[in-house]
Amino acid sequence: MPYVQDRLVHDADSHLMELPDVLDPYFEKRLLARYHALPIYRHKLGKAGWTDKVREQQADPEFRAGADENILLRKNYQALGAFTPDDRPRALDLLGFASQLVFTTFCLNNFGLDQSEDLELAYAAASAHNRMMTDFCKVDRRLLPTGYVPLEDFELAAKTAREAIALGCKALMIPSKPPQNHSPSHIALDPVWRMAEEAGLPIVLHVGGEEKLNAAYFENGLPRVKDFHGGEENFTSLSFMAIPQAPMKTLAALVIDGVFDRFPNLKFGAIELGAAWVPSWMRFLDSAAQAFVKNEERLQKLSDRPSNIVRRQLRVTPYPHEDVGWIIANAGEEVCLFSSDYPHVEGGRNPLKRFDDSLQDTPERAVRRFYAENFIDLMGAGLAEDLCYPKRLEVA
C-alpha cells in the first residue's frame, strides 16, 4: 500500500542524492579539469571509496528486498531511487504522490561559481546540471526536473533559460542571493521571465542558494554545535535563522521593481526555505509600499497591494515543524505547498502526520489547496494536464 491513500498529494520538494561523478558525462571536456579542481568539488567528493560502498549497497539483493517497507525510513544514499533513475518510479509509487518536483542535492548553490570570477565555468556547470536532471527524470513523467539559471550575465542567463526549457525542465531555479553586480529585478533579465511565462513554467528559489550566516556568529567561546548530520556545514538552530533573509530581499525586489506585475501569469516558488516568515514579510511589504508610495513611482505603478500580488503569484513550502495552519490563516490559503524533501533526513519519516496535525482547524478547501491545488497552480504547463488529478493507483 502506498504511503498516501485516499487523497491527492503533489510533492513540491524532492531530491536526487547524486554521486560526485554525476556531472562528468555532461560537462564540456575542455572544462572538466577546472571543475574537478574546485575546492568545493573536492570537499563534496569526500573520502575515497565511499561511492563504491553506496553503489554496492543499492545493488545488493538483500538490501533491495527491504526497500518497500522502508520507503520513508531509509534516507539519503540509502533511499530507493536516490541516485538510480530506474528505481525512482517505484519509490514514487510507494510514496503515493501524484508528482514530484525534483531538485539536485550535489549541485545546490552551483558550487559557489555564481559569485566567482569564472562565469564560463558557472554557466557550464548549470548547463551540465540541467542536462543531468532532465536525463534522470525522463524515466517517469511524474518526475518534474528543475533547471538552474545563474543570473550573473544577462545574455548567458537568457541562453541558459532557453536551453533548460528546450531540454524539458519543468521549473527554472534561480539563486536567492543577488548577482554580484546587479539586482535580480534588473530589466535586462526580463527575457528570462518572459520565456518562463510563455512556456508556462515557474521560477523557483531553493535552500542552498541563500546567503549563509556570518561565520562570526559561530565564534561564541563555546564548543561548536554539530548539525543533525554530525557536521558543521548544514543547519543548526542559529544558522537556520538566516535561511529566509535572502529570499525575503530577492522576492521583495521582484515585487517592488515590478517584475511580478510585468509578468502577471508567471508563478514563483520558495522551496525548502520555510514559511513562518511569510505572513510578517507580506505585511512588511505593504508597510514599505504605504510609507514610500508618495515618493516612488514604481510603487505607484503596482497593480495591487504587495501582499495581494504575493498571494497571486508566490507559493512557498513550510517546514514540517512549522505551524502550517497559522501560516495559512495569516498569509492566505493560496500560498502554501506540501513537500516531503524525499529522501533527505530533514523531511522526516511521516510528513503527512506532522502537517495534518497543524491543519486540524484549517478549512478543508485550504487543506486541499495545500496538498495539491496550489502546486497545480504553481506548475502550470510544467505539470501535464492528465497528471493534475490522476486516479489513485494501488502499489502492486
Domain locations in the chain as residue ranges: 11-383
Contact 341, 347 (CB under 8 A): yes
Contact 98, 390 (CB under 8 A): yes
Region 253-266: what's the mean pLDDT?
A: 98
**Strand-pair partners of 271:** 206
Starting at the edge strand that comes first in sequence, how are the strands of the sheet with 171-173 ordered?
A: 11-15, 100-103, 143-148, 171-173, 203-206, 268-271, 314-316
First to last CA, the chain: 8
Show the CA angle centred on residue 277, arms to residues 378 and 362, nearest 5°.
65
For 371-387, write each residue's pLDDT tens digit: 999 999 999 999 999 99
For 120-152, write each residue's pLDDT tens digit: 999 999 999 999 999 999 999 999 999 999 999
Q: How many Cα atoms occupy the beta-carbon half-sphere of 280 within 13 Å? A: 5
Residue 44 pLDDT: 83
Q: Rounded to an integer, what distance in angstroms lies between the CA atom of residue 387 and that of residue 200? A: 16
**Rounded mean pLDDT of the chain?**
95
Residue 320 pLDDT: 96
Hey, CA dihedral for 45, 54, 146, 74, is it positive or negative? negative
Superfamily the domain 11-383 falls into:
Metal-dependent hydrolases (3.20.20.140)
Q: Rounded to an integer, what distance in angstroms lies between the CA atom of residue 339 and that of residue 320? A: 8
For 353-372, write each residue's pLDDT tens digit: 999 999 999 999 999 999 99
pTM of the entire predicted model: 0.96
For 273-332, write each residue's pLDDT tens digit: 999 999 999 999 999 999 999 999 999 999 999 999 999 999 999 999 999 999 999 999
Region 331-350: what's the mean pLDDT?
A: 97
Question: CA-based diameter of the chain, in Å?
Answer: 69
Residue 232 pLDDT: 54
Which range, of 100-104, 170-174, 222-226, 230-234, averages the lowest pLDDT?
230-234
In the chain, what percentage of residues exceed pLDDT 90?
89
Residue 236 pLDDT: 87
Band of the pLDDT at 49, cuts 50, 70, 90? Answer: confident
**Alpha carbon 61 to chain centroid, angstroms:** 33
Which residue in the block uniquely carries the three cell numbers 558525462?
25
Residue 394 pLDDT: 47
User: Is a pLDDT exceeding 80 seen at residue 229?
Assistant: no
Residue 183 pLDDT: 98
Q: Could you give phi then psi for residue 173, rounded to 5 degrees?
A: -95, 135
